[in-house]
Structure 1
Amino acid sequence: MKSIIQQSTFMCLLVGLFCSACSREEVQGPTNDAPIPRILELSPANAAAGDKLTLVGLNFSENMAENIVRFGQQTVEILSATETEIEVVVPELTGSQVGVSVRSRGKVSNKAKLVLVRAKVFGDDFNRSNVEPVTSSIIPNPLGANWQIIQGSFGLTDNRLFSSAGGLESYVLYRDAELNMQVGDGSYFKLTADMQSSPESFAGIIFNAQSDNKRFYLLRTTNSMLQLLKSGENGVGHWVNVMVNENFEGFAPNTSYRATITSSQPGVFNITIINSTTNAILFERSVEDASPYLGGSPGFYYFGLANPVNIAFDNLNLEIL
């Protein structure tokens, strides 16, 4: 009898072990054989909110839905993905740096450090007391500490910069010790300003003005014409490159325009001009210069050809990174 009981107990143990093994197999599920993703570098290594960022690495999924990119604990949308590159946009973040990681097909990568940079902002809305037109001979300059009149005269009226002199090419530059319109290697600039000209007269926005105050780019308009010019070592009138010189529908005298000029690569400028009143886009184009000016400052230009002349500028805003 004892032998029979022992045999029964032994059989029960075997059955229990077998059932336990079966249960473990059912719960365990399939094995994840996907390789572990790895971030080799971030391009650029320094970036600001809104910049496109490329994660360069190994073992990402080409299926965007199988990748999750996190800045710290914040998940962001993926713009494109291959096995070696994922492109995203840097979100708004606090602090000076953040760890970036990828979860691909269930496997989590290493963290790569992104240094966060903050854009510097310069500008002038001219919202102050009126100033009668003055030349560079008046010291200190009553237009504002950062303004340098190079040629001609400028004043302030109705919270705008203006000139009413006829028959004279004149321009003024915005100078600041920390302002340098560099591009490339993670640097960029975004320049926005308003301008308005009288009939037969030019109003213009200057950018990348060099230290000699003669070499710069000039975006100017008169009547229905728009020009993008590059001045040479002799300054205004010495145009060494004419990049745009056309008539466009929607441009007209006594019309206020808002121009935006952006650049992140040397010699490549993205230009948008809208009607300040209707917000209608009048011009949108990318323009290139093979031998670009780098750095420098922005400013305003006018050439009054008819009388009376009333050329005005407003809302200068420049972001640099």
Structure 2
Amino acid sequence: MLTKNKIIAVLLVVLTGTAGSCKKDDNKLPVNNAPIPRILTFAPENAGPGDLLTIKGLHFSTDPEKNIVRFNQTVVTAQSVSDTAITVVVPALTVKSAGVTVRSNGKISNRKNLNLVQIKKFQDDFNRANVALVDNTVMPNPLGSVWEIVTGRFSLENNQLATHAGGVETYMLYRAPEADMKAGSDHFFKFSASVTVSGGGSFGGVIFHAQPDNKRFYLLRTAGKMVQLLKTGGNGLGDWAAIMINDNFEGFVDNKKYRVDISSSTAGKITVKLSDPDTNGVMLERTVEDPNPYTGGVPGFYYFGLANPVNIYFDDFSLELQ
């Protein structure tokens, strides 16, 4: 028979064991079996404050509340999420690069650096008073102080740049300070404009990488269904140093406004896109390479009026530089 003291001792042992067991269970943390997220690439590769950036990777949460995106220590809100992509707006940071991380389902990804571009923007919508056709003898240039008429005549009509002079190959260039179309070594450019070309074989288009001599440049022009991307030599127009696109494309018609976008982040590697601004449909997109490229330089507008009358219009000029 157990004595009273022995009974008390047994009870204490049992109670102590039970309490220890409960305490151990209380301290046990739930296991997080979620996979570790991983950042693979950015699209675009470089981006500036205010740009949409897509972070491509693996094992992101499809629940926006379970993703925390940081640029250095700045937390940003996801615009859209999937398990392989998160889209955000790049925050306003003054540094040249930022380390991007994603914390998904309680686990943090690798850190991947994003080069932050400081973009210079140049724009002209030509929304000002009409100006009759003028050439380069009229000074100062009434079309705009930063525009240089190299040859031919241009006017301002109904908030557009226009020309009606036939039988002349003509162009003008944008000579604003700091407008230098560099590509590569952390530089890139995007040049956009609208072009409308009348029929009868007349050409209209855009110039880019125009060098200081006003003769060497690239020319993207259209006439009916024809699209050409040409490079001039030291003698200017007609001295074709390279013909990179020269073909007919279905869907192109006369008297139709096209949106032209030309961009490059690598010297000699140029992407051209022509689209329909009414539908946003892409009509032509192609990347070409030039082993001996022009670098720097400025953009401009070009026309060659073969028909009579000539009705060629340019609008919504935009140049972005890094």
Specify if TM > 0.5: yes
Does the 8 Å CA contact 2:61/2:83 hold for their aligned counterparts?
A: no
Residue of structure 2 in register with 1:180 after alignment? 180
For residues 212-232 of structure 1, give each alpha carbon's deviation from its aligned partner in whole angstroms, at most 9, with x where no partner exists. Answer: 222211110112211111112
Q: How does 1:195-206 map to 2 (within 5 A)?
A: 195-198=195-198, 199-206=200-207
CA distance in 2, matches of 1:186, 1:30: 46
Q: How does 1:9-88 map to 2 (within 5 A)?
A: 9-27=8-26, 28-29=28-29, 47-48=47-48, 49-51=51-53, 63-65=59-61, 68=67, 70-71=69-70, 72-74=74-76, 76=78
Secondary structure of the residue that 1:316 maps to in structure 2? strand
Residue of structure 1 in register with 2:166 after alignment? 166
Displacement of 1:299 in angstroms is 0.5
For residues 257-302 of structure 1, give each alpha carbon's deviation from its aligned partner in whole angstroms, at most 9, with x where no partner exists. Answer: 1112222222222222123445443222222223222222110001
Displacement of 1:75 in angstroms is 5.2
Does the 8 Å CA contact 1:37/1:104 hold for their aligned counterparts?
A: yes
Mark the CA change 1:50 to 1:118 in structure 2 (over 3 Å): closer, same or farther.
farther
Secondary structure of the residue that 1:206 maps to in structure 2? strand
Does the 8 Å CA contact 1:69/1:100 hold for their aligned counterparts?
A: no
TM-score, normalising length from structure 1?
A: 0.80
Residue of structure 2 in register with 1:310 after alignment? 311
Determine if the alignment matches structure 1 residue 293 to structure 2 residue 291.
no
Mark the CA change 1:53 to 1:33 in structure 2 (over 3 Å): closer, same or farther.
closer
Residue of structure 1 in register with 2:150 after alignment? 150
Does the 8 Å CA contact 2:188/2:265 hold for their aligned counterparts?
A: yes
For residues 2-53 of structure 1, give each alpha carbon's deviation from its aligned partner in whole angstroms, at most 9, with x where no partner exists. Answer: x9444334333322332233224434146679999999xx999974223456
Mark the CA change 1:169 to 1:148 in structure 2 (over 3 Å): closer, same or farther.
same
Does the 8 Å CA contact 2:35/2:59 hold for their aligned counterparts?
A: no
CA distance in 1, matches of 2:276, 2:111: 46
Mark the CA change 1:256 to 1:100 in structure 2 (over 3 Å): closer, same or farther.
closer
Displacement of 1:120 in angstroms is 2.1
CA distance in 2, matches of 1:80, 1:266: 35
Displacement of 1:250 in angstroms is 1.9
Residue of structure 2 in register with 1:135 after alignment? 135
CA distance in 2, matches of 1:7, 1:152: 116
Does the 8 Å CA contact 1:47/1:186 hold for their aligned counterparts?
A: no
- Which amino acid in structure 2 is aligned with residue 8 of structure 1? I
CA distance in 1, matches of 2:202, 2:253: 11
CA distance in 2, matches of 1:270, 1:45: 15
Q: How does 1:228-243 map to 2 (within 5 A)?
A: 228-243=229-244
Residue of structure 1 in register with 2:92 after alignment? 94
CA distance in 1, matches of 2:53, 2:187: 11
Residue of structure 2 in register with 1:208 after alignment? 209
Mark the CA change 1:132 to 1:272 in structure 2 (over 3 Å): closer, same or farther.
same
- Which amino acid in structure 2 is aligned with residue 211 of structure 1? P
- Which amino acid in structure 2 is aligned with residue 16 of structure 1? L
Does the 8 Å CA contact 1:69/1:78 hold for their aligned counterparts?
A: no
CA distance in 1, matches of 2:230, 2:69: 44
RMSD: 3.6
Residue of structure 2 in register with 1:58 after alignment? none
Displacement of 1:133 in angstroms is 1.6
For residues 156-196 of structure 1, give each alpha carbon's deviation from its aligned partner in whole angstroms, at most 9, with x where no partner exists. Answer: 11211112222221110111212222223443222221112
- Which amino acid in structure 1 is aligned with residue 300 of structure 2? G
Does the 8 Å CA contact 1:96/1:117 hold for their aligned counterparts?
A: no
Mark the CA change 1:107 to 1:258 in structure 2 (over 3 Å): closer, same or farther.
closer
- Which amino acid in structure 2 is aligned with residue 225 of structure 1? M
CA distance in 2, matches of 1:293, 1:110: 39
Does the 8 Å CA contact 2:133/2:163 hold for their aligned counterparts?
A: yes
CA distance in 2, matches of 1:185, 1:20: 67
Does the 8 Å CA contact 1:182/1:295 hold for their aligned counterparts?
A: yes
